[in-house]
Amino acid sequence: MAAETEGNTTSTKPAELPFPIDKGDDNPLLNTHRVHWKVSNGELMHGYIAVPAVARGKLPAVMVVHDENGLDFEAREVARQMALKGYIALAPDFLSPWGGTPKDTAKAKAMIGAFDMPWVIKDAVMTIAWLKNQRYSTGKVGAIGLGWGGKLVEYTAAQANTDLLAAVTYYSPSPPVAEAAKIKTPLQLHFGTMDQKIDVEALDWIEALKAASVPLECYFYPNSGHGFMDETQTNYNQAASQQAWARSTEFLAKYLEPKPALLRKIEKDEQKQAKNLSDSSMAPATPEKP
């Protein structure tokens, strides 16, 4: 994937990176890159991409769409974890045309709240098409959306036609119910029962999706609020997060078909990595010289 993107889309100057290198980038099981590609009006969309280090040949792809905080650590971590499930995982920064995600989360939320959604949806659809047509892509593309990103994913599903094969959303505000009839993409939706504002909207949205015969799975997690997947937040719920993630990866694999041999290799390397970390932590400390 690096070879594919360096000619047109990869910035090689660290000063131009729109977001920082973080602790997840040192995982030897992954290759991570900063990339950009053209969207509406010739604007450049920046993004974070992760692929399994042992991958060879073509892989299915997943677009990971950030919440209203912008392209933060959570979104990049979801991309890394998705890559370990056998995918090209791309997390776009939908604030790219405005200089990228700012460090001030309040500012990011205000900027996203002022979005002209038709243009952002168009950018998301163009990103799906970009992923589908990458030389190292099998052409099978899915999406995951977090919060606001889930709403964008659902809007995108209504516009992307057959380019988007499956989509997963977590605690997402719902689009207008009229959008449901435009969706053909199989959806899997996750909500926390303590996320009352989102849940009230969700019930009408779910009914509209069912009425439109959209292939649909819905899950509500007890004692969970908005952001229950994000371990950096106070609402993080480990049990709900793990259950939702297992369901999500199984759902996407059904439609995107990651390579079984690659998954076995990644699992073997993860076990080896875990054992090395365990052995390292149990090793006696080297005594200091007198």
Q: Is residue 146 part of a domain?
A: yes
Percent of the chain with pLDDT over 70: 89
Strand pairing partners for 50?
A: 32, 89
Per-residue pLDDT at 189 exceeds 50: yes
Single out the residue of 43, 75, 96 nearest to residue 144, CA to CA: 75
Mean pLDDT throughout 134-145?
Answer: 96
Residue the block writes with tokens 């290198």: 21
Residue the block writes with tokens 């997943």: 62
Write down the pLDDT at residue 91. Answer: 97
Q: Name the least confident of 11-15, 103-107, 214-218, 226-230.
A: 11-15
Report the distance separating Cα 19 and Cα 76, nearest Å. Answer: 10
Banded pLDDT at 284 (limits 50, 70, 90): low
pTM: predicted TM-score of the whole model, two decimal places: 0.89
Mean pLDDT throughout 111-124?
Answer: 95
Structurally, how many domains does the chain consist of?
1
Q: Is residue 76 part of a domain?
A: yes
Q: Is residue 113 part of a domain?
A: yes
Mean pLDDT throughout 37-49?
Answer: 93
Q: Is residue 272 part of a domain?
A: no
Write down the pLDDT at residue 286. Answer: 57
Q: Is residue 112 part of a domain?
A: yes
Q: 141-151, pLDDT tens digit by residue?
A: 999 999 999 99
We report the CATH number of the domain holding residue 252 as 3.40.50.1820
Q: Name the least confident of 1-10, 214-223, 258-267.
A: 1-10
Q: Contact, 46 vs 37, CB < 8 A?
A: no
Report the distance separating Cα 24 and Cα 150, nearest Å. Answer: 23
Structure tokens belonging to residue 36 = 């950009």
Rounded to the nearest 10°, the torsion over CA 147, 177, 213, 250 is: 0
Q: 219-265, pLDDT tens digit by residue?
A: 999 999 999 998 888 889 999 999 999 999 999 999 999 999 999 99
Report the distance separating Cα 270 and Cα 3, nearest Å. Answer: 25
Q: Is residue 123 part of a domain?
A: yes
Mean pLDDT throughout 44-70?
Answer: 96
Domain that holds residue 145: 2-256
Report the distance separating Cα 175 and Cα 256, nearest Å. Answer: 25
Per-residue pLDDT at 15 exceeds 70: no
Q: Is residue 280 part of a domain?
A: no
Q: Contact, 179 vs 198, CB < 8 A?
A: no
Element (H, E) at 142: strand 137-146
Q: Is residue 268 part of a domain?
A: no
